[in-house]
C-alpha cells in the first residue's frame, strides 16, 4: 500500500512518524515514512547544486524541478521494491506538502501529474490547531521571516486539505483528514482496518468542559473505540485554549468548517452524547448536518430527563443513558480485531 500524507510545515514531526511506525510494527505491519524533502537536499548535493536549507524555495525553478523529479523516481523504485517483498504487510507513506506560502505567494511543491503517477492507494492530510502551527513556524528561521498571521495559517491549512482532496478525487481513491494529536491507533485503523466504521463523536464542548463531564466522555470514547474508528473533536479544540479572549471570526468559522466539512463528512455515523443537559449548538447542528447527509445519527440522552421534540427529530436512534447505548452496540456490532 502506498499512502500520500500532506501537512503544513510545523505539523507532522519526526517523533509523530516514529510513533506511528512503532504502533504498526507492534501489530505486524511494516509502516515506513519517506520524507521527500530531505532527499531533495541529497540530490542537489549529488548534482553540485548548492542549496541553503532555509532558502531552498528561492532556488531557480528548473533546478528545483530537476531535484524533485529525481527524488520521486527514486522513491517510486524503492517503494516498488519494498512492495514486491511483502505487499500485504508493507505500507509506504510519502510525507510531503501540497502547498507552500513563500514570500507571500502560494507555491506548489509538485505537479499533480507527478503525484498521481505514483498511483497512491490513500491520500491523507494531517491538520492541527493553526495557532500551534504558527508558534512552531515562528521558532524556525526558514519561516519566521514571513511574519505569518493566524489567518494566513488557517487559509494555508484549507489549501492543503483542498489540494490533497483534489488528488484523491482525480484518482478515485479515499481521502482522510487526521488531526496531528490523534493517537497512532487512528491512522493504523484507517489504513489496516478499513472495514471499521468511522464514527464522529459529538459532544458539548463550550459549555461542558468541566473535569467530571469530560471523564464521562472519556469512558464512552474508550468503550466505542473497541467497535469503531472514533474521531474525537477534542483532539483539536482551539476554543478551549482561547477561553476569555476576544471572539475571532476566522477561528470560529474554521472550527465549524473543520467539524462539519472534514470530520462529519468522512464519518459513517455521528454519535451525539449529552452527559448533562446544556446548550450545545454545535452538537445539534452536527447531528442535523449528518442527518440530511443520510448518515446514521445516534443521540444519547440523560436517563429520566425529558427530551425536546427538536432534539429527537434528527436522531435515527435515541438511547436514554449509557447502559442502553452500550447494550445496543454489544448486540449489533463486533469488536475490531
pLDDT at 245: 54
pLDDT, greater one: 136 or 88: 136
Cα–Cα distance for residue pair 5/33, rounded to 1 Å: 9
Q: What percent of the chain has pLDDT over 70?
A: 95
pLDDT tens, residue by residue, 277-336: 877 888 999 999 999 999 999 999 999 898 888 888 999 999 999 999 999 999 999 999
Q: Residue 85: pLDDT above 80?
A: no
Q: Are 260 and 289 in contact (CB under 8 A)?
A: yes
CATH of domain 195-337: 3.40.50.450
pLDDT tens, residue by residue, 118-158: 999 999 999 999 999 999 999 999 999 999 999 999 999 99
The pLDDT mean for the chain works out to 91
In the structure grid, which three cell numbers stand for residue 229, read together?
474508528
The Cβ of residue 240 has, within 10 Å, a number of other Cβ atoms equal to 12
pLDDT band at residue 241 under the 50/70/90 scheme: very low
Q: Are 313 and 272 in contact (CB under 8 A)?
A: no
pLDDT at 87: 67
Grid coordinates 549529488 are at which residue?
46
Strands 175-179 and 269-273: unpaired
pLDDT at 209: 66
Q: Residue 264: pLDDT above 80?
A: yes
Domain limits, the chain: 1-194, 195-337
Of 112, 120, 23, 26, the C-alpha closest to 76 is 120
Mean pLDDT of 76-82: 88
Mean pLDDT of 86-94: 85
The Cβ of residue 336 has, within 10 Å, a number of other Cβ atoms equal to 15
Q: Are 276 and 301 in contact (CB under 8 A)?
A: no
Q: Hey, which CATH number is domain 1-194, 3.40.50.300, 3.40.50.1360, 1.20.1250.10, 3.30.300.30?
A: 3.40.50.300
pLDDT at 244: 46
pLDDT at 316: 96
Mean pLDDT of 243-265: 84
Q: Residue 32: pLDDT above 60?
A: yes
Domains 1-194 and 195-337 share a fold: yes
Cα–Cα distance for residue pair 237/232, rounded to 1 Å: 10
In the structure grid, which three cell numbers stand for residue 177, read together?
483528514
Amino acid at each position: 500500500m502506498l499512502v500520500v500524507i500532506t501537512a503544513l510545515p510545523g505539523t507532522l514531526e519526526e517523533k509523530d512518524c516514529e510513533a506511528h511506525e512503532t504502533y504498526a510494527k507492534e501489530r505486524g505491519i511494516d509502516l515506513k515514512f519517506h520524507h521527500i524533502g530531505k532527499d531533495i537536499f541529497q540530490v542537489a548535493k549529488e548534482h553540485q547544486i548548492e542549496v541553503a536549507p532555509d532558502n531552498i524555495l528561492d532556488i531557480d525553478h528548473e533546478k528545483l524541478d530537476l531535484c524533485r523529479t529525481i527524488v520521486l523516481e527514486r522513491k517510486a523504485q524503492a517503494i516498488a521494491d519494498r512492495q514486491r517483498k511483502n505487499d500485504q504487510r508493507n505500507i509506504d507513506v510519502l510525507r510531503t506538502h501540497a502547498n507552500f506560502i513563500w514570500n507571500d505567494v502560494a507555491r506548489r511543491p509538485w505537479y499533480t501529474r507527478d503525484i498521481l503517477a505514483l498511483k497512491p492507494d490513500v491520500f491523507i492530510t494531517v491538520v492541527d490547531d493553526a495557532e500551534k502551527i504558527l508558534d512552531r513556524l515562528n521558532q524556525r528561521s526558514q519561516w519566521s521571516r514571513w511574519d505569518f498571521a493566524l489567518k494566513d495559517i488557517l487559509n494555508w491549512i484549507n489549501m492543503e486539505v483542498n489540494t490533497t482532496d483534489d488528488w484523491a478525487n482525480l484518482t478515485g481513491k479515499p481521502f482522510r483528514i487526521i488531526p496531528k494529536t490523534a493517537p497512532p491507533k487512528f491512522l493504523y485503523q484507517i489504513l489496516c482496518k478499513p472495514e471499521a466504521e468511522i464514527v464522529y463523536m459529538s459532544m458539548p464542548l463550550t459549555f461542558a468542559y468541566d473535569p467530571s463531564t469530560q471523564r464521562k466522555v472519556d469512558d464512552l470514547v474508550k468503550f466505542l473505540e473497541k467497535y469503531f474508528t472514533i474521531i474525537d473533536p477534542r483532539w483539536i479544540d482551539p476554543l478551549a485554549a482561547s477561553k476569555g479572549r476576544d471572539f475571532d471570526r476566522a477561528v470560529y468559522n474554521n472550527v465549524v468548517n473543520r467539524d462539519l466539512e472534514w470530520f462529519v463528512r468522512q464519518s459513517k455515523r455521528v454519535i451525539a452524547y449529552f452527559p448533562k443537559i446544556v446548550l450545545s449548538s454545535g452538537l445539534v447542528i452536527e447531528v442535523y448536518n449528518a442527518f440530511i447527509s443520510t448518515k446514521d445519527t445516534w443521540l444519547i440522552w440523560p436517563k429520566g430527563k425529558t427530551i425536546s421534540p427538536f432534539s429527537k427529530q434528527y436522531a435515527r436512534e435515541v438511547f436514554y443513558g449509557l447502559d442502553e447505548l452500550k447494550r445496543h452496540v454489544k448486540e449489533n456490532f463486533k469488536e475490531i480485531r
